[in-house]
Amino acid sequence: MSVEIVARKSKKSLPIHLVRPGGVEDAGLPPAALAWAKAAGFAGEAGRTLLLPDGNGALAGALFGQGEGALSLGALARGLPEGDWHFAARPAEPELAALALVLGGYVFTRYGKKPGRALRLALPEGADAARVERLAAGTVLARDLVNTPTSDMGPEALEKAVRGLARAHKATVSVVKGDDLLKKNFPMIHAVGRASAEAPRLIDLTWGPKGAPKVTLVGKGVCFDTGGLDIKPASGMLLMKKDMGGAANVLGLASTIMAAGLKVRLRVLVPAVENSISANAFRPGDVLTSRKGVTVEIGNTDAEGRLVLGDALALADEESPELLVDMATLTGAARVALGPDLVPFYTDDDGLAGDLATASLAVEDPLWRMPLWKPYEAKLASKVADMNNVTSDAFAGSVTAALFLKRFVGKAKSWAHFDIFAWNPADRPHGLAGGEAQAIRALERVISSRFG
């Protein structure tokens, strides 16, 4: 089900007529198409595709019941036969419509799954082909990384993926690995990852001129999370290959930024670890001294993502970037609050929050601002250290995780934290069940408008 966007429709291209639910009579269909729709009982049901015959037993086009939003058109990628297609009339959101079909045709094929049909869609009038290509490539990168199991996507493989991205865009990569993390003062990254057979590491990608505005992205790269000594139940580990979804998403976002040639000095930091169990695993009750100097008591080894992010954020913050963004599959509490599709984000920059909210609606990338509620900082108190990595109750887990991270940011002019899921639990029009890119379209729009 691969979808290729082509510059113009060919002579053999067939039309796609978009129909709103109950709006067959008002869709401006040719008489023969309207008659066929009525005969087939097609009423524009959202997501339904009806193929149109010509008088000789061949295809003449297709009708599609459009649901809410342009991304609902992604279902077309799985409903159309192979061949050349174009929209009979310009979609309301031509760029998103084209992107929806490309994303809807995505299939993860690394382990033998066949891509299926090949569709070619003529670029709708008003759509920017290069932008569609950038956004699609960034999303596919994020999805592929998340979908790959840890047997093939441990810290070393994640580093190779970053190096591959860097080569494609002439960026540079440096890595601090293993015990060098202690020498270079990244003790929390080392502590979380030291029990794994693969050495923990901090991957540092840079791109763009040094004098340009600094935009830094930090992504949680926990390639698998057993929970550590506070081990998860078996059911809780089933999706833990996606615990590096934050890293996957910032790499997808970085891909779009570099492909667009934005005038920024981009930095991407990925603390890549596996939270494993061994004789040298870090323990509940341990006290870690972070890069920033803040001491952290370990209340639970399953709250490891915030620890590796803390060291990475501290490094990022040292050069006072214009914009600092971190993304992480951080808390189950975020899913309880907002579900798998709606991404909570945290920032104390009202201007940035407003821009993100506007962009979220414009590109159909669901986001919701959550509060950095200062009184909840007391829940992270420790009797032996500056703070604990967890609270003593089960309340406001996503908020307190964000407050924990905020302790490691002070110099950045603007900071935002995204507590993403990075996964579709069920098929959606623009994405099958599996790894997903979240918030990167909205962030790309904001970053492009600020630094384009």
Q: Are strands 323-328 and 214-219 parallel, antiparallel or unpaired?
A: parallel
Residue 19 to residue 368: CA distance in whole angstroms: 30
Going by C-beta distance under 8 Å and a sequence separation of 6 or more, which residues neighbour residue 369? Answer: 344, 345, 346, 347, 353, 356, 357
Query: Could you say which of 220, 241, 291, 306 is catalytic?
Result: 306
What DSSP state is assigned to residue 70? Answer: G
Going by C-beta distance under 8 Å and a sequence separation of 6 or more, which residues neighbour residue 306? Answer: 328, 330, 389, 401, 404, 405
CB atoms within 10 A of CB 114: 8
Whether the CB-CB separation of 155 and 200 falls below 8 Å is answered with yes
Residue with tokens 């923990």: 200
Residue 306 appears among annotated catalytic residues: yes
Whether the CB-CB separation of 40 and 62 falls below 8 Å is answered with no
Beta bridge partners of 122: 6
> Would you give the end-to-end CA distance of the chain in angstroms?
33
Selection from 290, 299, 286, 294 nearest residue 271 by Cα? 290
Residue 110 appears among annotated catalytic residues: no
The DSSP result for 427-450, as a single string, is: -BTTB-SEE---SHHHHHHHHHHH
Query: Could you say which of 117, 232, 428, 450 is catalytic?
Result: 232
Selection from 139, 213, 183, 160 nearest residue 432 by Cα? 139
3-state secondary structure of 153: coil
Residue with tokens 């169990």: 277
Residue 413 to residue 139: CA distance in whole angstroms: 27
Beta bridge partners of 59: 53
Residue 225 to residue 241: CA distance in whole angstroms: 8
> Phi/psi at 340 (nearest 5 deg)?
-80, -20
Token pair listed for 141: 């990168």
CB atoms within 10 A of CB 361: 12
CB atoms within 10 A of CB 160: 12
3-state secondary structure of 189: helix
Selection from 350, 355, 328 nearest residue 270 by Cα? 328
Q: Hey, which residues are catalytic here?
A: 232, 306
